Amino acid sequence: DAGITQSPRHKVTETGTPVTLRCHQTENHRYMYWYRQDPGHGLRLIHYSYGVKDTDKGEVSDGYSVSRSKTEDFLLTLESATSSQTSVYFCAISPGQEEKLFFGSGTQLSVL
């Protein structure tokens, strides 16, 4: 498996609280991505990064922010969590813009 670690693996939080999910890679890949997966919607891209401090929005970026201060870490922050953000979050990496993405094991987030 590609060296991708997501933390935490599971989190339960309350509406209105801030939440940060972490993706850590040991592959030195340039691109990192955050997806969310919900029943009936497949995986949807939230944000992605193409280098340190370089990020861009995906399909469903509202309510989320990201940061990448080091090549190996990509953080996803929910500034004020809502119940609609209950989902499974996957991090992915790739060396470039080719479509061979490597995915992490996911974080199950429940917002009550």
Partner 1 sequence: DAKTTQPTSMDCAEGRAANLPCNHSTISGNEYVYWYRQIHSQGPQYIIHGLKNNETNEMASLIITEDRKSSTLILPHATLRDTAVYYCIVRVYGTASKLTFGTGTRLQVTL
Joined together, the tokens standing for residue 62 give 């509202």
Is residue 40 near partner 1 by the rule CB under 8 A?
yes
Amino acid at 27: E
Per the listing, tokens 């809502």 go with 82
Whole-number minimum distance, CB 92 to partner 1, in Å? Answer: 7
Asked if 56 is part of the footprint of partner 1 (rule: CB under 8 A), the reply reads: yes
Which residue in 21, 31, 34, 85 binds partner 1 (CB under 8 A)?
Answer: 31
Report if residue 53 touches partner 1, rule: CB under 8 A.
no
Q: Does 75 engage in binding with partner 1 (CB under 8 A)?
A: no
# residues contacting partner 1 (CB under 8 A): 29
* Contact residue for partner 1 among 5, 71, 103, 110 (CB under 8 A): 103
Rounded-to-5 percentages of helix, strand, coil across the chain:
5, 55, 40
For 110, phi and psi rounded to 5 degrees? -120, 125
Which residues are CB-contacts of 29 (< 8 A; sequence separation ≥ 6)? 93, 94, 95, 102
Tell me which residues touch partner 1 (CB under 8 A).
31, 33, 35, 40-45, 48, 50, 56, 58-59, 88, 90, 92, 94, 96-106
